[in-house]
Structure 1
Amino acid sequence: MYRLLFFILFVLLIEVYAFQAFRTLSKIKWVQYSYVLLSVLILAYIIYSFTQFDRSVGQTPKTLFTLGLVLIVYIPKIILTLIMFGEDFYRIISGTISYFLGNTNQSSFLPERRKFVSQIALGVAAVPFLSLLYGMTKGKYNFKVIKQTLFFPDLPDGFDGTTITHISDIHSGSFDDPEKIQYAVDLINEQNSDMVLFTGDIVNTHATEMHPWVDTFKKIHNPKFGKYSVLGNHDYGEYINWPTQKEKADNFEAIKDLHRQIEFKLLMNENVKLKNGTDEIAVVGVENWGKSFKKAGDLSKASTGLNQNDFKILMSHDPSHWEYEVKNHEQNFHLTLSGHTHGLQFGIEIPGFIKWSPVQYVYKQWAGLYENVGRYIYVNRGFGFHAYPGRVGIWPEITVIELKKGEKVA
């Protein structure tokens, strides 16, 4: 009851302040009434959509759209409210000072609201509005190829110059544009890498989400050293209420089989050795292990048959695994590839100047390359999107990593 009351008061406060700012744009009554009507209709739609959310179904295109609508409408309005509330605070202080000083030049206790403040507030609020709108219409498919060269003194000679294309977090249940997905698959193939590694979350929840896209992802070329994958937290179907445990188990088996259908070798706490002449390296794949999520990954089991001196590439979906178990592990995993964070699908990245996202306050390693005593983790920003149906500043990523033998030149 108290939560509902707080929600109503919060929304009313936001809407009142947003309207005060909006009416500085137009004094025409029908325009103002139209704005109020539209605001009411949007709020009613959002409330209705959330009441219809089915925990046995999970995320759908409708829930994606609704969350996007919430963000695109209310983040700008919250910004408007903060600025307008700040002005009201100033007006109260100013009015109080004038009252006690006996200033009779103003007609009321509170000074009039300044039009330029409302206009500034609208200008500031337009930035997230336009950014979120772009993120939902264009940004979610603004695929970027990011290249990285890593040096290892103990890399076997036969793998000097080996290239890896790394993708993560497909989230096929969120896709709505076949042409853009085909474009991304073509980008993957254009990299001509020696192996393709996929670090989990092929769906949001249901195996059926991937069915329309199987033929597209099957077109990813099978390179020299093959295509390998692992599971992510969403692949276990743990975020909805299943009618029976059997249905959940059947869905999990179907999700695992999706990897076979797109011709990736799914590694579940196991490893494969890749050979080039007399040299070899190991690709190790663990099930999901996350500090705050499912802990099914087993490094010991996955490393069976390997020793500390073997050159190892580890695929582990959640980068918190590296932070808490991998980076100081006795097996010496040279390179870990992860995803999971999506960079929150929101942030600011200007290479060489700034790299920021709110997700960095939750994950120490959230996007790009990190190093600890010669061991590396690369966190892919994700191929798809989830929850918010867009991306702002943190674009969908296809990573290409080149392995080089030797020391990095400063």
Structure 2
Amino acid sequence: MVHPIRSAFLPPAECAHLDAEADSPMSPTFVFFRSVVLTLAVGLFLLASGSAARRPRAQVAFWATAALVHLVWWFLPELEGIWSQAGRWMVTIWVGALVTAVLLTVPFALLLAGRWLLGRRMPAGTQAHGPRVQLLYVGLSLVVGIAVSFGTVGGPLVREEVVQVSGLPEGLDGLRIANIGDVHVGPFIKPADLTAAVNLVNARKVDLLAITGDLIDDLDQLEPTLDALERSQALPVLSILGNHDKYPNEAAIVAALKLRNPRIEVLINSSIQIHPRGVPLRVAGVDYPLAADGRHMLPRDEQDAAMLRFADLAFAQMAPGEPLVVLSHHPEFFPIASARGAILTLSSHTHGGQVRLFGRPVIAAYDYMHGIYREGNAYLDVSSGLGHWLPLRIGVPREISIVTLRRG
């Protein structure tokens, strides 16, 4: 979103802190202006690549389309209903095509250079490169952009998992926990999308709903977002913070979540004992190891040290032998959670890699990317997320995961 952030939940003295939002490389504002810059770069590349792109009709078509897309993008937070859906399709197709075009720039530039060198050795009057190369460049970008849009605007899928836990109390056999993470309510995901997801979870008869971080990017939509969570029939809703929640909007989000207690329970290096089906269950939530300047990728040794500190705080009230479920936005907390006796850890953060080809992430930035992992009697579920701050998903659809516990 490119409009100033306002929130009834944030004290006036802290409003200046929100100005940092525009500087965050993951903020909606930053993504918007990054798109503008990349659009200019692609337009200039097309202009320099041959005479076909210099024709007035081609120039008008490209720049008019770019202006329309970014105008719709600018006002996307105010659009509702079918207009919002159409606007998100348009912007998503554009971003997918734009990213593809940028990735294709180097190989196509080399191809054009090769054809130009070859043309210098050809007889006079022979065309060395015409509109075919440019048409292929634009065509491939659009095809990928359209394909990407189905993964970002369509869905979500519901992924059901069953895990066998040795020593699980009989009363917790069959307990169903929904994991909704990386919602990113903002320009591309609306509170209505979260409402639909909660309705899906309600229809699946879950016992617990866990929000595993990165709930919201646009504080203007915070109240309807919390209204959507309160539709859950599995109360209280258990929530933790992700890196997008923490920088720079942590104060507003935490205040809003706490105002909704006891219907929404926010866990920040703390735990709560709940009684689903009348059986005691400890649920702990750990914070995200974020650097003071907002960087979300700490060096591994600093990250591990921070996670160990969080674990000491979050598990302080745990009784020996008490069944424990852990919520951690960052999936790399799993080894610590399993060592402390957690039977299940729920995470998100990775977006499933965002781009997967032949079932594998193009960039595997984490040890645990997506799906179910097991370590002894402990399990980890990593959701690919309900939303996105960058509308680009290839082979990784939006999802809700539901984990059912069974006695092993």
> TM-score when scaled to structure 2?
0.70
Name the counterpart of 2:346. 337
**Contact 2:258 2:264 (C-alpha < 8 Å) held by counterparts:** no
- Alpha-carbon distance, 1:18 to partner: 6.3
Map 1:235-314 to 2 at 5 A: 235-236=245-246, 238-239=247-248, 249=251, 251-257=252-258, 259-260=260-261, 263-275=263-275, 280-289=280-289, 292=297, 298-307=310-319, 309-314=321-326
**Contact 1:229 1:259 (C-alpha < 8 Å) held by counterparts:** no
Paired residue secondary structure (1:172):
coil
The residue identity in structure 2 corresponding to 1:228 is L
Identity of aligned residues (%): 22
Name the counterpart of 1:107. 124
1:148 matched to 2:169: no
- Alpha-carbon distance, 1:393 to partner: 3.2
User: What count of residue pairs does the alignment treat as equivalent?
Assistant: 351
Name the counterpart of 1:75. 99
- Alpha-carbon distance, 1:213 to partner: 3.4
- Alpha-carbon distance, 1:120 to partner: 4.3
Paired residue secondary structure (2:261):
helix
Paired residue secondary structure (1:322):
helix
Per-residue CA distance 1:97-116 (angstroms, 9 max, x = gap): xx5xxxxx7337x8723766
1:124 matched to 2:128: no
Map 1:162-181 to 2 at 5 A: 162-174=175-187, 180-181=193-194
Unpaired runs of at least 5, structure 1: 1-5, 24-31, 53-58, 100-104, 241-247
1:366 to 1:18, Cα distance in 2 relative to 1, 3 A: farther
**1:119 & 1:42 partners in 2: Cα distance?**
17
2:201 to 167, 188, 195: 188
Larger radius of gyration: 1
The residue identity in structure 1 corresponding to 2:374 is E
Name the counterpart of 1:26. none
1:395 to 1:258, Cα distance in 2 relative to 1, 3 A: farther
Aligned alpha-carbon RMSD (Å): 4.1
**1:276 & 1:179 partners in 2: Cα distance?**
28
1:308 to 1:38, Cα distance in 2 relative to 1, 3 A: farther
More displaced 10-residue stretch of structure 1: 264-273 or 168-177: 168-177
2:239 to 229, 233, 244: 229
More displaced 10-residue stretch of structure 1: 41-50 or 211-220: 41-50
**Contact 1:231 1:288 (C-alpha < 8 Å) held by counterparts:** yes
The residue identity in structure 2 corresponding to 1:292 is M
1:107 to 1:213, Cα distance in 2 relative to 1, 3 A: same
Name the counterpart of 2:360. 355
The residue identity in structure 1 corresponding to 2:170 is D
1:179 to 1:8, Cα distance in 2 relative to 1, 3 A: closer
- Alpha-carbon distance, 1:172 to partner: 2.6
**Contact 1:283 1:313 (C-alpha < 8 Å) held by counterparts:** yes
Paired residue secondary structure (1:188):
helix
**Contact 2:342 2:378 (C-alpha < 8 Å) held by counterparts:** yes
1:383 matched to 2:386: yes
